[in-house]
Structure 1
Amino acid sequence: MADPPEKRVQRTPDGDSIDRLSALSDCVLLHILSLLKTKEAAATSILSTRWRNLFVSLPDIDLCFCVDDDASDRDRLFYQFTHFSNRVIEQRNTAPIRKIRLRVQHFVERYRLGFESLLIPAAAAISTYNVEQLHISVAMDTATEKFSIRFPPGIFSSETIVSLSLSLDVGWNVPDFVWLPNLKYLFLRRFTLVDEDSIQRFLQGCPLLEHLILTVQPFSYESESQESIEVEVLHISSPLLKGLVLCWNEKVELEFTIVVKSENLESLVCFLQGQHKVTIDAPNLKSLNVDGHVLEVHIVQSLVSIDKAVVRAEFLHNVTNLGDLFLRVQHAFEFISGLQNVKSLNLSENILKALYFSQPALPTFRNLIKLELEPVYCPSFPRSWILQVLSNLFESSPNLEVLIFSEVFKNYFGEDEQFGSVFPQAFPLTFIEHLKVIDMSNFKGEEHEFKLVEYFLKNGKSLKKIALEREGWKSVPEYCNRILSFKKCSEDCQIVFRKKWDYITCPQLRQLMNLSP
């Protein structure tokens, strides 16, 4: 090992040598060391005997095992990692610990015992040092045969833990007893559901939980005893839960019902893969995002307070027969009807396709102020059918003020030669007159886009702004000049040529993405 560098000594005017760095208070030194990871902070101990063991007093313990250079040496390095990690936790002084973060990459089964031995002092530290945050991540390089690890009971029994994050490629079981009375943030990533009650059993031990992120792995269909695992209903219920994100990492083939119930739930995001049913009993929900493949989304109580909904769910995925089609479109219609109090609505054409086959009269969205449309081009689904659904939707939105197109492709409303003639049908004048803002993203400068902008400017009596987004407006000044030459019905209407990604203000990130300054 190389000799440690010489101390840099500053001399006073009188010629005295003073080590001013070592003269700093423990509080200042700890603040400096807190900017480093635990291993890096420990490495600074060679600089001075003054803070040789100061790193073990840091409020945050951040331990990471990630070796990409020499895979053949990982076993030795993992042993050193566990030895160092145990020393950091076990040689702790009386200083409190705010957060423990433990991350292991390249995990294999032969590391299991060493990792479990590291969890034991971590669990002891939770109760001894009043730990508030615990983050554990285990990742394997390749898909191998699954195996499980055991957690000490102390991991799930703490009066002080406020935030718990478990992101595990390996299997683990929710213990029979969970008691985290002050837990507010729970993140379970890559979670493998092994029985119907495990999640709800976990939640029952977290009475103050406010935010839950749950990402589910494909099911383990057989337990160690080779008995079949049956899950019919996944219950997610917690009285104070405010935010819930529920998604599948991959397609979960097993069909089951997801029941979400909370009187205080304000935000719900569902991204599902597979044939599932979702039941929502959350009367105070303000934000809803449903994506992926679902059979049914049932809203139990009216969502009177909902502000925003994003619907990208595909209700017609793998339709088998006409009877199945009838049920799917009925579910889609009932779901959209449950959103009639929404103020901001984002719809993809997946839901519009299902609405075409349902009854033509949509509910009236009297509170709807903002509507964003996301096209999904499908050659087998006639654009005239989409046009019909859009016309019904516009007629059912009497107070709409903001209309956003994420993209307008060439035959968005019909065949090319019919594009201009279908505008009055798609956007009746009685509808256009109330619009205040038109926003078109991904403006490519094609003829149909110019015609659509001209139509809005010519007939929009109340228009305040038309925003057109693309990268590189300066390179096509003729586009701007042509649009500015269009006749405006509203003299107050402002035409905004917005550069794509303008919302990104960080100079370093803009440079990384090759964006203009």
Structure 2
Amino acid sequence: MDMANSATHHQSDSKRKKVELSQDAVVSIDRISNLSDSLICHILSFLPTKEAVVTSILSNRWKTLWTLVPKIDLENNRFQKIPVSLTHIVYRVLALHRAPLLRNFSLTSYSPCHPFHLDTWIHTVIGRKVQQLRLQFHSKKLVKLPRTVFTCKTIVILELIGDIVLDPPSKFQFPSLKILCLCEIAYKSEDSFSNLLSGCPVLEDLRVKLREELDGATNLKITVPTLKRLGIEFIPGYPKPHDYKFEIYSPALENFRFCGDLGNLVFIEKLTKVVDAEVGIYAGHWVLENGLHYGARIFKLVRELNCSKFLSICPGQKECLCFDSIYPSMYQNLVRLEFGVNLSNWHVLKALLLVAPNLKVLVLDKNDYDEEDNRLCCIGRLDGSGCLSLLTAFSFNGYEELEHEVEFVKYVLNEARLLNAMTIKIYDKRFKESLLQRLSMFPRQSTKCVITVE
């Protein structure tokens, strides 16, 4: 009898636990159901439109929630398994979309897009007061940007990427545009670039990536007094790129980035407000093969950035060999320097350290050494007592304990009286302990310095 009661009691407990689990599941569902439509739409806005549409199968309530999301993000690669064209999908999504304001419209296509359809879509999203517009085409056929785009008064962010031809009208205005990204697009003429910028009276952020075989522009002017952030990247053509020139008038510039093959950058006015700057030079073998040593351009650009507080520079490998003079300007504001070292530019680093008396953080990132360049190492004698007197942190990424690297580490330990941390990063982690022992034997000025090998 007791066994029967025990079994009955056990079954009762099992049923009660199942009921409790079921109730917990209901509570979990209710937690989602209790969210407001606006909050659910905010969550859906982090998904591409295709994924947002899929949520419509969850329940009747979810069936139309995606149409209230103030964002449309369409890409034909996402619809490859659907036997419907991207053109049909865009028309359908725009027709069903019910959000009163469209904050973000993004369209990426890897197939040709008919100008009539694109113009119709742009006209529709402008009517919804779009604030962020992103168009990206990779179809090996240039798509002309519709003139309708230039009538938009609400756009704040504009991104044009890929096979797009820019041909703005001579007179127009984007009164709200603050961020502009032009990535590997083509320009109808060199005036197209200037005309576009002239219609952006409040522009603060400009990013330009040039692809030589497409852009059709070699002399470009940036005249934007309001500009605070500027990024330029140039992808050279082959076998030998054409030269190009940028004339830049942006006295309010605070952040500057350059990457690629360095052309002739001319700053009309001194960059006194730049705080953060990054320069990465990546020229091909044609630099030496054609006798085009443009080291002077590199140092001219770096001198223009001598007001920077944070400077990152990777000046290339063989491009620096012509350097034969000290920097004429002091880098009084510089507190952090990140430098890409290789066998042929240690002397550049040395020269820069001598004119940066307030440097506190130094980071070295070693580029791959070319075996043919071993003879080019020209670090020279490390003198200049006191030039690292305020340094508190030093990091060397890619340390291989080569002779000139060891000498530089010794130099830092001997000169940096306030050094708190030295971090050495190596490729082969098996030698961490033995390397740390050797580094610990080097004399140092700072008794507080902690050496770490990673």
Is the pair's TM-score, using the shorter chain for normalization, greater than 0.5? Answer: yes
Q: Indicate conservation of the 8 Å contact 1:408/1:449, yes or no.
A: no
Q: Which residue of 2 aligns with 1:218?
A: 212
Equivalent positions of 1:15-30 (< 5 A) are: 25-30=36-41
Q: CA deviation at 1:345?
A: 4.2
Unaligned 5+ runs, structure 2: 1-19, 24-28
1:65 and 1:214 map into 2 onto residues whose CA distance is 25
Matched, 1:148 2:148: no
Equivalent positions of 1:363-512 (< 5 A) are: 363-377=329-343, 387=347, 392-407=351-366, 425-431=381-387, 435-445=391-401, 449-450=405-406, 452-454=408-410, 456-458=412-414, 460-470=416-426, 476-497=432-453, 499=454
The alpha-carbon distance between structure 1 residues 171 and 478, as it changes in their structure 2 partners (threshold 3 A), is same
Q: CA deviation at 1:484?
A: 2.6
Q: Which residue of 1 aligns with 2:253?
A: 265
Matched, 1:191 2:161: no
Q: Which has the higher helix share?
A: 2
The alpha-carbon distance between structure 1 residues 302 and 135, as it changes in their structure 2 partners (threshold 3 A), is closer
The letter for the 1-side match of 2:432 is V
Over residues 322-371 of structure 1, what are the superposed CA-to-partner deviations in whole Å (9 max), with x where a residue is unaligned? Answer: xx87xx66666655544444444444455996585545674444444444
The letter for the 2-side match of 1:89 is L
Q: Which residue of 1 aligns with 2:84?
A: 77
Q: Which residue of 1 aligns with 2:162?
A: 168
Q: Indicate conservation of the 8 Å contact 1:124/1:154, yes or no.
A: no
The letter for the 2-side match of 1:132 is Q
The letter for the 2-side match of 1:444 is E
2:21 and 2:274 map into 1 onto residues whose CA distance is 67
**2:231 pairs with 242, 245, 268, which one?**
245
Q: Which residue of 1 aligns with 2:10?
A: none
Q: Which residue of 2 aligns with 1:136?
A: 135
The letter for the 1-side match of 2:138 is A
Matched, 1:64 2:63: no
The alpha-carbon distance between structure 1 residues 249 and 393, as it changes in their structure 2 partners (threshold 3 A), is closer
1:188 and 1:330 map into 2 onto residues whose CA distance is 28
The letter for the 2-side match of 1:204 is S
SS in 2 for 1:165: strand
Q: Indicate conservation of the 8 Å contact 2:416/2:446, yes or no.
A: yes
Q: CA deviation at 1:448?
A: 5.9
Over residues 81-106 of structure 1, what are the superposed CA-to-partner deviations in whole Å (9 max), with x where a residue is unaligned? Answer: 3223212212333632221121223x
Q: Indicate conservation of the 8 Å contact 2:342/2:367, yes or no.
A: no
Q: Which residue of 2 aligns with 1:285?
A: none
Q: CA deviation at 1:182?
A: 0.7
The alpha-carbon distance between structure 1 residues 42 and 470, as it changes in their structure 2 partners (threshold 3 A), is same
Q: Indicate conservation of the 8 Å contact 2:69/2:99, yes or no.
A: no
Q: Indicate conservation of the 8 Å contact 1:187/1:214, yes or no.
A: yes
Q: CA deviation at 1:251?
A: 2.9
Q: Percent identity?
A: 24
Range 118-127 or range 466-475, more displaced: 466-475
Q: CA deviation at 1:462?
A: 4.1
Q: Indicate conservation of the 8 Å contact 1:60/1:98, yes or no.
A: yes
The alpha-carbon distance between structure 1 residues 446 and 86, as it changes in their structure 2 partners (threshold 3 A), is same
1:369 and 1:479 map into 2 onto residues whose CA distance is 29
The letter for the 1-side match of 2:150 is F
Q: CA deviation at 1:268?
A: 2.4
The letter for the 1-side match of 2:340 is E
SS in 1 for 2:108: strand
Q: Which residue of 1 aligns with 2:13?
A: none
2:444 and 2:415 map into 1 onto residues whose CA distance is 8
2:275 and 2:221 map into 1 onto residues whose CA distance is 25
Q: Which residue of 2 aligns with 1:87?
A: 92
Q: Indicate conservation of the 8 Å contact 2:253/2:271, yes or no.
A: no
Over residues 43-87 of structure 1, what are the superposed CA-to-partner deviations in whole Å (9 max), with x where a residue is unaligned? Answer: 3434444443332222111222116977xxx8x532xx3223212
Q: Which residue of 1 aligns with 2:264?
A: 277
Q: CA deviation at 1:183?
A: 1.1
Q: CA deviation at 1:179?
A: 2.8
Q: Which residue of 2 aligns with 1:297?
A: none
Unaligned 5+ runs, structure 1: 1-9, 14-18, 222-228, 282-300, 500-517
Matched, 1:103 2:108: yes
1:411 and 1:32 map into 2 onto residues whose CA distance is 50
2:408 and 2:418 map into 1 onto residues whose CA distance is 17
Alignment length (residue pairs): 423
The alpha-carbon distance between structure 1 residues 361 and 175, as it changes in their structure 2 partners (threshold 3 A), is closer
For normalisation by structure 2, the TM-score amounts to: 0.75
2:80 and 2:343 map into 1 onto residues whose CA distance is 45
SS in 2 for 1:198: helix
Q: CA deviation at 1:463?
A: 3.4
1:88 and 1:82 map into 2 onto residues whose CA distance is 10
